[in-house]
Amino acid sequence: MKLTQILLAIIVLSTTVAKAQQIKNTNSFTVIPLGVKGGLDESNLSSYLVAAKGSEQFICLDAGTINTGLQKAVQNKLFIEKNAEIIQKKYINSYFISHAHLDHTAGLILNSPNDIAKNIYALPSVIDVLKSSYFTWKSWANFANEGDKPILNKYSYNYLSADSTIAIPNTSLKVTPYILSHVKPYESTAFLVGNNNSFLLYLGDTGSDTVENSNKLKTLWTVVANKVISGALKAIFIEVSFDNSMPNKGLFGHLTPKLLMQELGILNELSAGKLKNVKIVVTHMKPCENCEPLIMEQLKNANNLGLNIVYPKQGVAMIF
Ligand SMILES: [Zn+2]
Ligand SMILES: [Zn+2]
């Protein structure tokens, strides 16, 4: 082979590799956890930024903590911009709230004076709580576009319909909400986030079907099972709030390691045993003395399916 032919072959090969990489990237996600816990430490409560890899337009799934999480992300050099307030304004595209409990909304409410005009997406039952309990002038200034006057019109409520997919402006992301049961009759939400042919599933707080006497998780597992089988579903963010010693009457719509494994066992069966290919990101542990190591130990011991269980850290990026 002549030198020119060899060079040409190298160029063709490297362009092909670059293209394959590009295609891979357009299907991937960057997740930046802004808060990962389910209580106690108010600087680290449920909130996850999600973007298509390479994009700086993040959607914010729950908003328990924003500012401290962004400061941690800056320390970890995840943004060129150094100012957390500017990052919130410029790089958070919109908010998706699973349910209105304070550990999922406090960051949004408290940082609202600093923010710019954006969409808040949630089920009608969740928006009703924001409208009637938080952005009311009694609890906080009404930065939203409906409710108690004067209306400051910064945030626009977008009412989601369960099971209907919407495209998010200025991103390549699509989101489909599914209803979860979080102490009957209260609703929480799972968000299935799609980027082309890849998906992440984020669940807000949820009880197990057995304890809640519900079929919401079974219905969700049935919907996503084909994406587990095809490899399109990359990760499931799901809560474990308490260790196994918590009796059912003390769960208040949350999961333990035992209940999580029961539920994931059902999904694994529906997915032809392929669930071990999906990262299981455990969120929302409620801190108490030694609870977190105990929950991790109990999950490890109950992991007969060989699932890939990971623990998110505040301000540390995850790629899926
Ligand atoms: Zn919570
Ligand atoms: Zn909750």
Query: Own/partner pairs for 72-80, CB < 8 Å, 24+ apart?
Result: 72/34, 72/314, 72/315, 72/316, 73/32, 73/34, 73/315, 73/317, 75/315, 76/315, 76/316, 76/317, 78/32, 78/315, 78/317
Question: Which residue range is the domain that position 90 belongs to?
Answer: 29-312
Q: How far is the CA of 313 from the centre of ligand 1 (A)?
A: 17
The CA dihedral of 53, 22, 18, 228, to the nearest 10 degrees, is 90
Q: Which ligand is nearest to the Cα of residue 99, counting in written order?
A: 2
Q: How far is the CA of 67 from the centre of ligand 1 (A)?
A: 18
- For the chain, report the end-to-end CA distance as a whole number of angstroms: 41
For residue 289, what pLDDT is reported? Answer: 86
Let me know if residue 308 belongs to a domain. yes
Neighbours of 269 (CB within 10 A): 13
Radius of gyration of the chain (CA): 21
Q: Which ligand is nearest to the Cα of residue 253, counting in written order?
A: 2
Q: How far out from the chain centre does Cα 72 lie?
A: 18
For residue 22, what pLDDT is reported? Answer: 46
Q: How far is the CA of 271 from the centre of ligand 2 (A)?
A: 28
For residue 103, what pLDDT is reported? Answer: 98
Q: How far is the CA of 13 from the centre of ligand 1 (A)?
A: 49
Q: What is the CATH number of the domain that holds 191?
A: 3.60.15.10
Q: How far is the CA of 308 from the centre of ligand 2 (A)?
A: 25
Q: How far is the CA of 26 from the centre of ligand 1 (A)?
A: 31
Q: How far is the CA of 59 from the centre of ligand 2 (A)?
A: 20
Let me know if residue 11 belongs to a domain. no
Q: Which ligand is nearest to the Cα of residue 100, counting in written order?
A: 2
pLDDT digits (tens, 9 = 90+) for 247-284: 999 999 999 999 999 999 999 999 999 999 999 999 99
Q: How far is the CA of 284 from the centre of ligand 1 (A)?
A: 7
Let me know if residue 193 belongs to a domain. yes
Q: Which ligand is nearest to the Cα of residue 206, counting in written order?
A: 2
Q: How far is the CA of 39 from the centre of ligand 2 (A)?
A: 10
Q: How far is the CA of 238 from the centre of ligand 2 (A)?
A: 13
Q: How far is the CA of 21 from the centre of ligand 1 (A)?
A: 37
For residue 236, what pLDDT is reported? Answer: 98
Per-residue confidence in pLDDT tens, the chain, 320 aa: 555 665 555 555 554 444 444 444 567 999 999 999 998 899 999 999 999 999 999 999 999 999 999 999 999 999 999 999 999 999 999 999 999 999 999 999 999 999 999 999 999 999 999 999 999 999 999 999 999 999 999 999 999 999 999 999 999 999 999 999 999 899 999 999 999 999 999 999 999 999 999 999 999 999 999 999 999 999 999 999 999 999 999 999 999 999 999 999 999 999 999 999 999 999 999 988 889 999 999 999 999 999 999 999 999 999 99
**Helical packing angle, 257-270 and 216-230, nearest 10°:** 50
Let me know if residue 317 belongs to a domain. no
For residue 9, what pLDDT is reported? Answer: 57
For residue 88, what pLDDT is reported? Answer: 98
Q: Which ligand is nearest to the Cα of residue 284, counting in written order?
A: 1
Q: How far is the CA of 251 from the centre of ligand 2 (A)?
A: 11
pTM (2 decimals)?
Answer: 0.92
Residue in the structure block whose two tokens are 């490297």: 14
Q: In the chain, how many domains are there? A: 1
Contact 96, 157 (CB under 8 A): no
Q: Which ligand is nearest to the Cα of residue 182, counting in written order?
A: 2
Q: Which ligand is nearest to the Cα of residue 286, counting in written order?
A: 1
For residue 8, what pLDDT is reported? Answer: 56
Q: How far is the CA of 204 from the centre of ligand 2 (A)?
A: 8
- Of the candidates 255, 231, 226, the residue with the CA atom closest to the CA atom of residue 243: 255
For residue 38, what pLDDT is reported? Answer: 94
Tell me how far apart the alpha carbons of residues 204 and 187 are, in angstroms, rounded to a whole number. 10
For residue 16, what pLDDT is reported? Answer: 47
Contacts of 223 (CB under 8 A, 6+ apart): 163, 178, 192
Let me know if residue 101 belongs to a domain. yes
Let me know if residue 18 belongs to a domain. no
Let me know if residue 19 belongs to a domain. no
Buried b or exposed e, range 142-158, using 16+ CB within 10 angstroms: bbbbebeeeeeebbebe
Q: How far is the CA of 101 from the centre of ligand 1 (A)?
A: 6
Let me know if residue 15 belongs to a domain. no
